[in-house]
């Protein structure tokens, strides 16, 4: 990790990150093979045990300050990459997706009453949350293009009636708080709901490549969900604007957490390569293996620098839409290369669950898709490049 401790705020973040790293390495990592984990993520029993451990260490939700404020994005980068050294680390510290992003959004948009009812239980790690935006492809619903949203919200007196289907809703199974995006007459609108609710029915939990997030990723049917006016998040019709408040930082925090995981995978692969012998010498002394580890070191450093650059952009007050897209593409692609090489270096062992490397590989592969596939971000950046070029030509 880069040392920016000359800056007071980052020095504070580094102090927290150092404590987090010790906690994750020495305590959380010991539970990585706990049997309370399945294809749809760790059980809530395991999550609560981990959070009690973090609470006892004074490390639960370390990115949220006692006064309700947040660490800077630069500080958060230090803390979350330390948390990510184990796939269980973000869950233990209550900085995992989607809760971390939802807390960030609620902290900036929710009313005081909404914060007390919906945000505080999340900060305290007592409940999990889900963000209901993506919709099934078979319904021609919203995916990478949120303007295709089919879920509707119609006013019914002092209430709103919401109907539709959602897909890939992370953590919906077992969540206590939901943020539901629907299309009203005013436009896309976000609604806060307490879960479970009989009007929100889980059709199935998908079997996916990744399995680190509690509750997995669900397909959900919403029928006749009644939400009072007081539970609109922000203003009606401003849902897409609020989504951007959440999505740019959330893309970046995903990068932070998976950087930590890939740092750990690199450590494990290196340890293997300096102990395992083949053809009369250590694996690392074979140029093909040594070069893969060297390339990993380069990719890890480039990912770190991209994250820190984007964090600085967001800390300046800029929206960072293009910058977060660039960072998400660069980091997700670089980390996939790192994880893939770690598996290759370890050979057959890298394909097994004997180490966390194969899990990191699966998780990082999924990361190239969620929060916007690489190709969608590149397309968005290309449109921006074209627009800027045409504007320059018109001057």
* DSSP three-state, residue 157: coil
Is residue 355 in a domain? Answer: yes
Verify that 244 and 221 share a domain, yes or no. Answer: no
Q: What was the pLDDT predicted at 94?
A: 98
17-21 CB contacts, 8 Å cutoff, 24+ apart: 17/78, 17/79, 17/81, 17/82, 18/82, 19/57, 19/59, 20/59, 20/62, 20/79, 20/82, 20/83, 20/89, 20/93, 21/82, 21/85
Query: What value does the CA radius of gyration of the chain take, rounded to a whole number of Å?
Result: 21
Give dist(CA 19, CA 356) in Å, integer: 22
pLDDT tens digits along 65-113: 988 889 999 999 999 999 999 999 999 999 999 999 999 999 999 999 9
Amino acid 4: pLDDT: 41
Same-domain pairing of 143 and 255: no
Number of H helices, E strands in the chain: 12, 11
CATH number, domain containing residue 253: 1.20.140.10
Q: Based on the domain organization, do 269 and 320 belong to the same domain?
A: yes
| Residue 212 to residue 57: CA distance in whole angstroms | 23
- CATH code assigned at 84: 1.10.540.10
- Residue 101 belongs to domain spanning: 8-110
CA distances from 393 to 384, 385, 386, 387 (A): 14, 12, 11, 10
Residue 292 in any domain: the answer is yes
- 211 and 249 together in one domain: no
Q: Are residues 90 and 145 located together in one domain of the fold?
A: no
Which parts of the chain have pLDDT scores under 70? Answer: 1-8
pLDDT for 378 equals 97
Residue position matching structure tokens 């989607």: 98
Last residue of a domain, one of 207, 233, 259: 233
Q: 3-class DSSP state for residue 352?
A: coil
pLDDT at 2: 43
- The C-alpha atoms of residue 133 and residue 258 are separated, in whole angstroms, by 23
Does a structural domain hold residue 297? yes
Are 287 and 370 part of one and the same domain?
yes
Cα 123 to chain centroid, rounded? 16
Last residue of a domain, one of 172, 206, 233: 233
> How large is the angle between the packed helices 321-346 and 239-273, nearest 10 degrees?
30
| 388 and 244 belong to one structural domain | yes
Full-model pTM: 0.95
Task: Establish if 121 belongs to a structural domain.
Answer: no
65 and 154 together in one domain? no
Using the 3D structure, point to which of 233, 253, 280 is the last residue of a domain.
Answer: 233
Please enumerate in sequence order all residues whose Cβ is within 8 A of that of 244, keeping only pairs 6 or more positions apart, or say none: 319, 321
Please indicate, yes or no, whether residues 103 and 142 belong to a single structural domain of this protein. no
Domain membership of residue 352 (yes or no) is yes
Q: Is the peptide bond before 196 cis (omega within 30 degrees of 0)?
A: yes
Q: Same domain, yes or no, for 386 and 245?
A: yes
Residue 66 pLDDT: 86
Residues 49 and 78 in one domain: yes
Residues 247 and 366 in one domain: yes
Report the alpha-carbon distance of residue 5 to residue 13 in Å, rounded.
9
**What is the number of domains present in the chain?**
3
CA distance linking residue 324 with residue 251, whole number of Å: 7
| 124 within domain boundaries | no
Residue 195, pLDDT score? 98
Give the pLDDT of residue 395: 84
């Amino acid at each position: 990790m880069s040392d920016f401790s000359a800056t007071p705020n980052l020095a504070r973040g580094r102090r927290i990150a150092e404590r987090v790293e010790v906690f994750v390495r020495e305590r959380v990592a010991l539970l990585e093979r706990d049997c309370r984990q399945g294809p749809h993520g760790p059980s809530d029993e395991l999550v609560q045990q981990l959070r009690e451990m973090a609470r006892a260490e004074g490390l639960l939700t370390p990115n949220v300050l006692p006064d309700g404020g947040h660490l800077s994005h630069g500080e958060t980068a230090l803390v979350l990459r330390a948390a990510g050294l184990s796939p269980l680390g973000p869950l233990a510290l209550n900085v995992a997706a989607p809760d971390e992003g939802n807390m960030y959004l609620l902290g900036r948009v929710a009313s005081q009453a909404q914060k007390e009812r919906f945000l505080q239980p999340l900060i305290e790690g007592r409940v999990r949350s889900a963000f209901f935006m993506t919709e099934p492809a078979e319904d021609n619903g919203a995916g990478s293009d949120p303007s295709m949203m089919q879920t509707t919200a119609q006013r019914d007196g002092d209430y709103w009636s919401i109907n539709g289907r959602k897909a890939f809703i992370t953590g919906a199974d077992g969540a206590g708080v939901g943020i539901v995006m629907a299309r009203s007459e005013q436009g896309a609108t976000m609604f806060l709901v307490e879960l479970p609710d009989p009007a929100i029915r889980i059709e199935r939990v998908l079997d996916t490549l990744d399995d680190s997030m509690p509750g997995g990723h669900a397909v959900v049917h919403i029928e006749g969900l009644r939400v009072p006016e007081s539970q609109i998040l922000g203003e009606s019709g401003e849902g897409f604007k609020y989504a951007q408040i959440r999505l740019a930082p959330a893309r970046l925090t995903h990068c932070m957490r998976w950087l930590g995981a890939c740092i750990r995978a690199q450590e494990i692969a290196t340890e293997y390569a300096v102990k395992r012998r083949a053809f009369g010498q250590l694996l690392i002394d074979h140029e093909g293996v040594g070069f893969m580890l060297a390339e990993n070191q380069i990719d890890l450093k480039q990912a770190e620098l991209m994250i820190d650059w984007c964090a600085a952009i967001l800390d300046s007050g800029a929206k960072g839409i293009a910058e977060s897209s660039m960072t998400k593409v660069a980091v997700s692609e670089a980390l996939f290369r790192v994880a893939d090489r770690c598996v290759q270096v370890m050979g057959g062992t890298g394909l097994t669950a004997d180490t966390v490397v194969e899990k990191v590989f699966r998780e990082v592969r999924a990361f190239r898709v969620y929060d916007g596939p690489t190709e969608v971000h590149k397309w968005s950046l290309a449109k921006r490049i074209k627009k800027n070029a045409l504007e320059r030509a018109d001057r």
